[in-house]
């Protein structure tokens, strides 16, 4: 059986989990999230402990029990604490500015790049070269961070571009004669 699927999800105070036949809903201070229920996994809620059991002995059910456990755990953590992703802009004149639900990037193009943030995602710029993306849905926070990084990915010769704060860029050596 999946080792991740065996671990229960502890529901903290202030978070409400409702399990229906077709979906799982999690509500908390950070918002409300839904996930489609999978027929291969049975979910039990016993006094704030969610357990995930495969409905049969198939390999797919075993794998899906760990997947569902982690997705529900991410939902519980998201509505209670939230997720955040930090990006750094490296390059002369590269800067970002957050204006409400918009992010304006000046990253070496002849025009500024404006990006609209979807509902549930907040963006902040503590410094002009740092972008912080926050939200309750881990997948959406990561996707928005990846889309912002894709505007100007780091290049391997000087390291200029938009990178994750924990990303290490290996600088290549230039061609020698």
* Together in a domain, 75 and 88: no
pLDDT of residue 127: 96
* Together in a domain, 27 and 66: yes
* Together in a domain, 89 and 74: no
| Residue that finishes a domain, picked among 16, 51, 80 | 80
pLDDT of residue 140: 95
* Together in a domain, 74 and 97: no
* Together in a domain, 132 and 92: yes
* Together in a domain, 87 and 157: yes
* Together in a domain, 66 and 138: no
Reading the chain (177 residues) residue by residue, the pLDDT tens digits are 568 888 999 999 999 999 998 999 999 998 999 999 999 999 999 888 999 999 998 999 999 999 999 999 999 999 999 999 999 999 999 999 999 899 999 999 999 999 999 999 999 999 999 999 999 999 999 999 999 999 999 999 999 999 999 999 999 998 888
* Together in a domain, 98 and 131: yes
Q: Is 141 within 8 Å of 132 (Cβ atoms)?
A: no
Q: Is 47 within 8 Å of 26 (Cβ atoms)?
A: no
Say if 147 falls within a structural domain. yes
pTM of the model: 0.89
HEC secondary structure over the chain: CCHHHHCCEECCCCCEEEECCCEEEEEECCEEEEEECCCCEEEEEECCEEEEEECCCCHHHHHHHHHHHHHHHHHHHHHHCCEEEEEEEECCCCEEEEECCEEEEECCCCCCEEEECCCCEEEECCCCCEEEEEECCHHHHHHHHHHHHHHCCCCCCCCCEEEECCCCCCCCCCCCC
Say if 90 falls within a structural domain. yes
| Residue that finishes a domain, picked among 31, 57, 80 | 80
Domain of 58 in residue numbering reads as 3-80
Burial tier of 103 (Cβ tally within 10 Å: 0-12, 13-18, 19+): buried
| Residue that finishes a domain, picked among 23, 56, 80 | 80
The structural domain count of the chain equals: 2
* Together in a domain, 120 and 154: yes
Q: In whole angstroms, what is the distance from residue 171 CA to residue 154 CA?
A: 10
* Together in a domain, 88 and 101: yes
Say if 29 falls within a structural domain. yes
CATH at residue 99: 3.90.930.12
Say if 172 falls within a structural domain. no
> Cα dist. 93→53, 72, 129, 132 in Å?
54, 42, 9, 19
């Amino acid at each position: 059986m999946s080792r991740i699927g065996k671990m229960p999800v502890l529901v903290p105070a202030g978070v409400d989990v409702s399990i229906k036949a077709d979906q799982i809903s999690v509500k908390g201070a950070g918002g409300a999230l839904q996930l489609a229920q999978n027929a291969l996994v049975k979910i039990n809620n016993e006094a704030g402990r969610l357990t995930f059991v495969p409905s049969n002995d198939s390999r797919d059910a075993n794998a899906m029990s760990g997947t569902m456990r982690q997705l529900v755990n991410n939902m519980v953590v998201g509505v209670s604490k939230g997720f955040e992703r930090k990006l750094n802009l490296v390059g002369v004149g590269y800067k970002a500015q957050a204006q409400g639900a918009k992010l304006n990037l000046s990253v070496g193009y002849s025009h500024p790049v404006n990006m609209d943030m979807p509902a549930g995602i907040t963006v902040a710029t503590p410094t002009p070269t740092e972008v912080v993306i926050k939200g309750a849905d881990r997948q959406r926070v990561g996707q928005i961070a990846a889309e912002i990084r894709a505007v100007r990915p780091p290049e391997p010769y000087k390291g200029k571009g938009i990178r994750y704060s924990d990303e290490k860029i290996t600088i290549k050596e230039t061609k020698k004669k």
